[in-house]
Each structure stands twice: as structure tokens, then as C-alpha cells.
Amino acid sequence: MFFNILLYLFYVAGFIVLLGLGLVYTYQCKLIYPAQFPEGSRVEVSLPSDHDMPYYEDLTLTTRDKVKIKAYLIKRSTDEETKKACTLLYFHANAGNMGHRLPIAQIFYKMFNCNVLMLSYRGYGLSEGTPGEQGIRIDAQTALDYITEHPLLKNTKVIAYGQSIGGAVAIDLVAHNEDRIHGLILENTFLSLPKLIPHLMPFLSSVSFLCHQKWNSEVAIQRIAKTPILFLSGQRDELVPPQHMRALFENAITSGGKSFNEFNSTHNDTCLAPNYFDTVGEFWASSIDDSFLNMNK
């Protein structure tokens, strides 16, 4: 009798554990890609013209797996200038949509006289589909291919910029397209999701093997052979331990040069740090293109 109850409890416990593991496995994308936050992110996306950038195209790109994603191409005021400018390819962090990043895009646009191509990943903003590692990689490739095929942009220098999980997107894209990208700027990104989860969600650390979303930047960054890389690291980052950025920097072997810069900032306010854009400017001028220095005189 006692033995039967024990066996019964054992089955119940086993069932609950399996159910829990199943839920973690199935719903991790909802945790990792909070596209519905902040509220309204799936219905409202502000426009470049709201941020003093009137020369833009509101694009719908179709990926090779037939998902329609939204992107903005923000151009200079004339075709001639657009052709001569660099193009910033902007990969946003894991909440919200591209519209939330327009104030940051605007600083790049004004300071470096560049074009900006930015996208909302699938399942974000007004883009169709659901987020996931394989799909977002395709989205990034779609955006780069758009630049490569665009009559005004095809000969521009492309700089990939990624914040947080956008850094993982950018690293992966550059690792596969070095012939078409001239610089990589990374802010507060991580070694890999399985390595980040024990820190973010300690209660899940024993099941981090269930994480099917990997974003293994630790390996991918070692495939980058020649693209210059800038690392921007918030020393008070409460979400991604700064050691991840430091380790990525140490893993990078690119012959194009790498630069590590620390800011007294947290995960999402690093770009507000006083020296942030000056640091980007030094990297941009020395490793990619210094013509903005003359234009801004």
C-alpha cells in the first residue's frame, strides 16, 4: 500500500517535471523575444520623419522563406550624397520595434552623414511572422541583400550595428558576409544564450540545455577574419554581465583591428553615456571612413 502511494507520487512528480520542461522548451521564445513590450509595440511604429529625417522609404521586404518584414531606408537629401555615404545597418535589441530606435539612428545619421537601414525582426513591430533564431538570421540577410542590390546603396560601405541580442544578429551576419561589410559595432551583447540564461533566470539554470535558441556569438565572432570591430560595454550592465563583452573581445581575431571601450552605464542606457558617440566616431574615422570629419566642419 505504502509502496503504491510512493510509486503514484513518483509518477505525478515525473509528470509535473516533464510538463515544466515542455513548457520551458515551447515558450522560451516568448521569454527571449518580448516583441509585445512595451505595450503597443505591435501596432505603433514611429516614422523617420517624426525624427527630422524626411528622406526615407518605408519598405516591406519579402524574405526567402516568404515572410514580409518591415524596414526603413533613411537616405541623404540627394541621390549623389546617398551614393557616397556609408550605410548603417541597424539591429535592435530584444523588445519594442525599429521605431523605438529612431532617436539613436538620428544621432548616427546626423553625426556621420550616413544612410540608415533598420528593420523590425519578424514578429516585431509591423513585421509578419514569429521571432526565432533561424528566422531572424534570414531577416538580417534579407536586409543586407537589399543593400547589395540597391542602385544607390550597392557601392556604399556597410557598418553593422547591434545592441544586446542585435549584436548576436550582427556578428552572425558579418561572419557570413565579410566581403560586403566594412565595420561591426557591438553594444552589450552576450557570448551565447545558454551562457546567459543562468545569469538572467537562475531558476532555469539547471535546464539551460533545453534552450534551442543559441545565438552562439562566442564561436561566430572567431569566424570574422578582417572586419574591424568596436566593443561598447556598460560596466553596470545588470542584464548581460560585462564579462561577456570582455570575453567576446578576447575571442575576436579579426585582422581589421578591435577596440574595447567601457562606459559607466547599465544595459539600456549605454548609448546615453557622454563619450559613446565620440568613441564611435573615432572608430568610424580610423577604421571605416573619415569623410564625415570634413563635412561636419
Interface residues with ligand NAG (CB under 6 A) are: 264, 268-269, 272
Indicate if the alpha-carbon torsion angle 101, 115, 51, 108 is positive or negative. Answer: positive
Minimum CB separation from ligand NAG for residue 269, in Å?
A: 4
Minimum CB separation from ligand NAG for residue 266, in Å?
A: 7
Minimum CB separation from ligand NAG for residue 228, in Å?
A: 27
Instruction: Please give the Cα distance from 228 to 222 (Å, whole number).
Output: 13
Q: Looking at beta carbons only, is 251 or 268 nearer to ligand NAG?
A: 268
Instruction: Please give the Cα distance from 76 to 249 (Å, whole number).
Output: 33
Q: Looking at beta carbons only, is 265 or 287 nearer to ligand NAG?
A: 265
Q: E strand or H helix at 7, and its extent?
A: helix 2-32
Which of 281, 245, 249, 251 has its CA nearest to residue 265?
A: 245
**Considering 164, 192, 217, 287, which one is annotated as catalytic?**
164
**Considering 46, 176, 199, 267, which one is annotated as catalytic?**
267
Minimum CB separation from ligand NAG for residue 94, in Å?
A: 12
Q: Cis before residue 38, ω within 30 degrees of 0?
A: yes
Q: Would you state the cell numbers that stand for residue 96, as one nine-digit string?
A: 519594442
Q: Looking at beta carbons only, is 82 or 94 nearer to ligand NAG?
A: 94
Indicate if the alpha-carbon torsion angle 171, 229, 160, 187 is positive or negative. Answer: positive
Catalytic, 289? Answer no
**Considering 237, 244, 265, 287, which one is annotated as catalytic?**
237
Centroid of chain to Cα 178: 17
Catalytic, 267? Answer yes
Catalytic, 65? Answer no
Minimum CB separation from ligand NAG for residue 272, in Å?
A: 6
Q: Looking at beta carbons only, is 34 or 256 nearer to ligand NAG?
A: 34
Q: Looking at beta carbons only, is 82 or 188 nearer to ligand NAG?
A: 188
Print burial letters for 260-281: b (CB count within 10 Å at least 16), e (below 16). ebbbebbbbebbebeebbebbb
The catalytic site residues sit at: 164, 237, 267
